Amino acid sequence: MKITAQEEYGLRCIIQLAKQKDGEPLMVRDIADREGLSIAYVEKILWTLSRSGIIESVRGPKGGYRLTRPCSEIFIGEVMRALGGIPSSEEICGQFTGNHETCVHHGACDLEPVWASITDFVNSVFDRIPLSQLLQGKLEVKMVQLTPKSQANLVG
Amino acid sequence: MKITAQEEYGLRCIIQLAKQKDGEPLMVRDIADREGLSIAYVEKILWTLSRSGIIESVRGPKGGYRLTRPCSEIFIGEVMRALGGIPSSEEICGQFTGNHETCVHHGACDLEPVWASITDFVNSVFDRIPLSQLLQGKLEVKMVQLTPKSQANLVG
DNA sequence: CATGTACCTGACTGTTTTGTCAGGTACATG
DNA sequence: CATGTACCTGACAAAACAGTCAGGTACATG
């Protein structure tokens, strides 16, 4: 179970945008400096995020990137999914080329419920944390609660 | 956030061993057949698992691999960690080469608490599920409860 | 004690992910 | 309307991961 580089760096970049006052665009060069990444790489990551509509670009002098919404209305889950994100249990099972007869056709997959519970939970946590919360020192989420689906799987 | 092939296939292989009656060793060839994987690949995965002491090999004719303990005493978390596993938040932060001055020295990392909460939870779920539970049709865990550490991070 | 079975292990290849490069396009300003 | 700034984008290079291959070692059996 791995956090990808896109996710880590993508979140860091968008946090830099969230720290910006007003709607002032922030230059790629500044983000790259602050996070210790190359300009080219930051450009690539921001381009990915802008395709999903979470951020937008301002061209020309004094240009840069900025959030399309206030940072209190942008949740980490949305950002993670834009960056490649958390696969669903169906995607995990479909991704691996093993014995599909047992798993898919006979409905005898032992692992699907495990992946379903984990990915469901991760999504539910990420969808509760707005960017604004990351800017404060302390991370807070009102309540940790599983979705009905993962409860059915996990809680006996 | 990705499940690696090692994790998926490693779990599948060890589930096959758990299904075996008594302490009978199961041949690599049989596991490979049942899961639709190559023999060479299954050998590699099982070798990894045997290094961690979860399974052991029996050489010669009628040999194979078997669990070192009853399947009710082997938890998924242990298996996942042997397969490369869930990194800690420290490992995630150390893995990426960005701006360490901000993150490490100034203690101003915005993401560490997020990774800590997620990895903590994933570990706590995996450490509650013994292999024996995967063999039954329904996955059940007594209670979903966060560790004190991740509660402090997530619950305001 | 020879033989066959089946595990053991390092080296190798192919594919995906990560990160770089180079040249192009759009906009603000004077 | 020329110029410089800064985003845009596809193609490429390098590193990590997935999966294969080949030859070796240990054990049970007759």
CA atoms of A87 and A103, how far apart (whole Å) = 18
pLDDT at A145 over 50: no
Mean pLDDT of A7-18: 95
Q: Is the CB of B97 less than 8 angstroms away from the CB of A139? A: no
For position B112, what pLDDT does the model report? 87
Q: How distant is the Cα of B154 from the closest Cα of chain A, in angstroms?
A: 5
- Domain presence at residue B156: no
For position A100, what pLDDT does the model report? 63
Alpha carbon of B95 to those of A4, A9, A121, B113: distances in Å?
10, 12, 24, 16
| Chain B residues close to A156, C-beta within 8 Å | 140-142
Q: Can you give the three-state secondary structure of A108-134, one letter per residue?
A: CCCCHHHHHHHHHHHHHHHCCCEHHHH
CA atoms of A86 and B113, how far apart (whole Å) = 18
A100, A139, A153 ranked by CB distance to B114: nearest: A139
Average pLDDT of chain A to the nearest whole number: 85
For position A109, what pLDDT does the model report? 79
A101, A117, A125 ranked by CB distance to B118: nearest: A125
- Domain presence at residue B154: no
> Whose CA is nearest the C1' atom of nucleotide C25?
A59
Q: Is the CB of B92 less than 8 angstroms away from the CB of A8? A: yes
CA atoms of B10 and B79, how far apart (whole Å) = 8
Query: How many CB atoms within 10 Å of residue A147?
Result: 15
Q: Is the CB of A125 less than 8 angstroms away from the CB of B121? A: yes
Question: The tokens of A64 are what?
Answer: 């840069």
- Which residues from the 101-140 window of protein chain A have CB within 7 angstroms of nucleic acid chain D? none
- Domain presence at residue B155: no
Mean pLDDT of A110-116: 87
pLDDT at A68 over 50: yes
Q: How distant is the Cα of B20 from the closest Cα of chain A, in angstroms?
A: 15
Determine whether the distance from the CB of B62 to the nearest atom of strand C is below 7 Å. Answer: yes
User: B24: closest CA among B63, B75, B73, B70?
Assistant: B63
Q: How distant is the Cα of B109 from the closest Cα of chain A, in angstroms?
A: 9
Q: Is the CB of B121 less than 8 angstroms away from the CB of A117? A: no
Determine whether the distance from the CB of A36 to the nearest atom of strand D is below 7 Å. Answer: no
For position B101, what pLDDT does the model report? 61
Q: What CATH number is associated with residue B66?
A: 1.10.10.10
For position B138, what pLDDT does the model report? 60
Task: Map residue A36 onto helix, strand or coil.
Answer: coil
Alpha carbon of A136 to those of A18, A132, B54, B153: distances in Å?
11, 7, 43, 12
- Domain presence at residue A22: yes
User: B122: closest CA among A110, A69, A49, A123?
Assistant: A123
- Domain presence at residue A155: no
Q: Is the CB of B113 less than 8 angstroms away from the CB of A140? A: no
Domain span at B99: 5-147
- Domain presence at residue B83: yes
B98, B115, B122 ranked by CB distance to A36: nearest: B98
Instruction: Mutate one of B139, B140, B145, B147 to test the A interface: name it (highest A CB count within 10 A).
Output: B139
Q: How distant is the Cα of A43 from the closest Cα of chain B, in angstroms?
A: 15
- Domain presence at residue A13: yes
Tens-digit pLDDT profile for residues A28-60: 999 999 999 999 999 999 999 999 999 999 999
pLDDT in tens, chain B (156 residues): 999 999 999 999 999 999 998 889 999 999 999 999 999 999 999 999 999 999 999 999 999 999 999 999 999 999 999 998 899 998 998 888 666 666 655 556 778 888 888 888 888 889 999 999 988 766 655 444 444 455 545 544
- Domain presence at residue A140: yes
Beta bridge mates, B65: B26, B57
Domain count, chain A: 1
Q: Is the CB of A140 less than 8 angstroms away from the CB of B125? A: no
